[in-house]
Structure 1
Amino acid sequence: MEWFGDSNRSFNFHMFSQSHLIIIAIFILVTVVIFLYRHKMNTAHWRKIEISTAISLILFEITYHTWMHTNSLWKLRSSLPLELCNISLILCVILLLTKKKFVFEILFFTALLGASQAIFTPALSYGFPHFRFFHFFYTHIMVVWVTLYFTWVKGYYPTFRSVIKLIVFINLLLPVILFVNKKTNGNYWFLRHKPEGPSLFDVLGPYPWYIFSLEGLLVGLSLITWIIFRKQAKVHHKDRSRSPLL
């Protein structure tokens, strides 16, 4: 069961390799399909698919933590589900199960600004066909697809207040992450030091100022994303008012 082991020597991941490009192509293709068929997907039948998707994400995540534990990779300082992508996954499952608008408002930004970026530039060591390869891309892609599904199909569009809620949510979590980092000697959210290799953090200033730069960047990108989808929301409502079927 090498595909489930802890060695990546036979499964080295290479960015923009054939397997990575196939994943990107599938991601873009299905995203287009969701948009094109958005008016045909809002039926009661899709509720079963929503629940099934939530269960699959839970099972994938349980299997992932089991894999880490089995291979002695699970560490308190780095394996807790506290990174923004982990939080996005949790929010995604909650949204699928409850359909709460507040959950969507937070997930919308963390998914489109975080998970989507991870799909194109993944921080991943294990390549195809290792379990970690499938876990990484399945969870990240589903987070984005679920967000776009609730946006285009269900009509859950963000508002300016959504940006405010995101900022409040992030800043309420901030002291929690700082506390966990101190107790576990971890570096969740890179709040203790920058990543080891070259990254965006290098242009955001020295510690601790890059933390404030990151928050400013988050606010700016969130506002831009809100403006783009706010325009889409207006078009969406016009389309619905003109449609004789709605």
Structure 2
Amino acid sequence: MSENNESAFVMFSLPHFAAIGLLIFAIILLYSFKRKVHVTILGGQRIERVFAISLLMMELYFHMSYMWVGRWAISYSLPLELCSFSLIVAITLLWTGNRHLVDFVFYAGIGGAIQAFLTPVIDFGYPHFRYFHFFYVHGGIILTALYFYRMKGYRPTFKGIIKTMVTLNGLLPVIFAINWIVNGNYMFLQQKPSGGSLLDYLGPYPWYILSLEAVAFTMFLGLWLVFKGKRRE
């Protein structure tokens, strides 16, 4: 990662719209494949594991590169954000095919990654490596969830929403404790991010945390309503 490649990220700039456009293109490409093509040509488990490795390598390189230039710190660099959890679960899901993991990736993963795509909280923009890392891993989470829906026949359930909400609320006290120990702001539980985000519309601290619970449930419910009745080829 070059120190000369540092440029501030600008929301709703051309690089931002380019990232969104590439994600939409990838989703269209995913949906253009028939399920039988996935089995006979794409190699099934092979491509799932290659994609899992690419996501893992991108994440590991991000942490190593930030350590190398002295930008990594325990107070803000640990993989303890919602999308960090979703990424870990998505990689595990792709590698193992464990269907018990699909609910979390589908609901928390898509919900969090879409919000991240629309209102990114990143320190550097194009052409810095952080730009490519941010949009690749967040796009990878969304594509993993849609892949298991489109190619593997996963059917979202309302029970999956409840399981995901329970899991997320189980993580909150742990993240609160870690934030207190390392003086961090993981999952934005201590304060809102600077630079603008969805949280700006959800009230002051700490009430925006409760508002975010309602937003998350509403978003998960919307995903369930959109995808539960769709027929797949």
Question: How does the TM-score come out when normalised to structure 2?
Answer: 0.91
Query: 2:113–2:139: 8 Å Cα contact kept in structure 1?
Result: yes
User: 5+ residue gaps in structure 2?
Assistant: none
Aligned partner (choices 137, 141, 150) of residue 143 of structure 1: 141
Quick check: 2:83–2:112 contact (8 Å CA) kept in 1? yes
Give the number of equivalent residue pairs: 231
Q: Deviations over 1:119-177 (max 9, x none)?
A: 23322232222211211111111111111111111011210110010011011111110
The residue identity in structure 2 corresponding to 1:18 is L
Query: How far does residue 226 in structure 1 lie from its aligned partner after superposition?
Result: 0.8
TM superposition shift of 1:7: 5.6
Deviation of 1:8 after TM superposition, in Å, equals: 5.4
Paired residues of 2:121 and 2:193 also in contact (CA < 8 A) = no
- Aligned-residue CA RMSD (Å): 1.8
Report whether the alignment pairs 1:21 with 2:17: yes
User: Partner of 2:88: helix, strand, or coil?
Assistant: helix
> In structure 2, what is the Cα distance between the partners aligned to 1:41 and 1:175?
44
List gaps (5 residues or longer) in structure 1: 240-246
Counterpart residue identity of residue 30, structure 2: I
Q: Find the partner of 1:42 among 38, 41, 59.
A: 38
| CA distance in structure 2 between the aligned counterparts of 1:20 and 1:102, rounded to whole angstroms | 33
**Residue 5 (str. 1) matches residue 2 (str. 2):** yes
Checking the alignment, whether the CA contact within 8 Å between 2:119 and 2:197 is kept in structure 1 is no
Q: Give per-residue Cα distances to partners, 1:51-90, cap 9 Å, x unaligned.
A: 1111111111111111111111111111110001111110
Deviation at 1:181, TM superposition (A): 0.6
Three-state SS of the structure 2 residue aligned to 1:155 is coil
1: CA distance, partners of 2:5 / 2:154: 40
Larger Cα-atom Rg: 1
Q: 1:22 to 1:197 in 2, by over 3 A?
A: closer
Q: In structure 2, what is the equivalent of residue 204 of structure 1?
A: 202
Percent identity, please. Answer: 41
Counterpart mapping for 1:10-159 below 5 A = 11-43=7-39, 45-159=43-157
- Picking from 212, 215, 233, the partner of 2:213 is 215
C-alpha change, 1:134 and 1:197, in structure 2 (3 Å) is closer
